[in-house]
Amino acid sequence: MAGARPRRRGGRAALPVAEVVTTYRCPHCGGALELLELRREACIACWRCLRVACVSARKLRRLYMTRQRFDWRGMVLAMYRLYLTARA
């Protein structure tokens, strides 16, 4: 996930601005989980079994962004844990 940084540009569309395959595996089917960074939230998803877990960008910024950097590792781990409780 090198090179990924929080964005500060304004914008309207809620289209994914980043889509990253993580090293985490779906516990249900074994597929690779993808992290989708949207305008207002970030989601971790399995496209094989269509499970998804999302957290608002506001909450993620509050929890993982400091003045200098964004804690991607901490964020992805937390989202993976949330994913474990997600339903199809």
Contacts of 45-51 spanning 24+ positions with Cβ under 8 A: 46/83, 49/88, 50/88, 51/26, 51/83, 51/86, 51/87, 51/88
Give 38 or 52: the residue with its C-beta nearer to Zn ion: 52
User: Could you identify the residue written with the tokens 């993982």?
Assistant: 64
Tell me the closest approach of the beta carbon of residue 67 to Zn ion, in angstroms.
Answer: 36
Tell me the closest approach of the beta carbon of residue 19 to Zn ion, in angstroms.
Answer: 16
Tell me the closest approach of the beta carbon of residue 83 to Zn ion, in angstroms.
Answer: 9
Chain positions 10 to 69 lying near Zn ion, rule: CB under 5 A, are 26, 28-29, 31, 46, 48-49
DSSP alpha helix (H) spans, 1-88: 57-64, 72-83
Classify 64 as helix, strand or coil.
helix
Give 43 or 64: the residue with its C-beta nearer to Zn ion: 43
Residues that bind Zn ion (CB under 5 A): 26, 28-29, 31, 46, 48-49
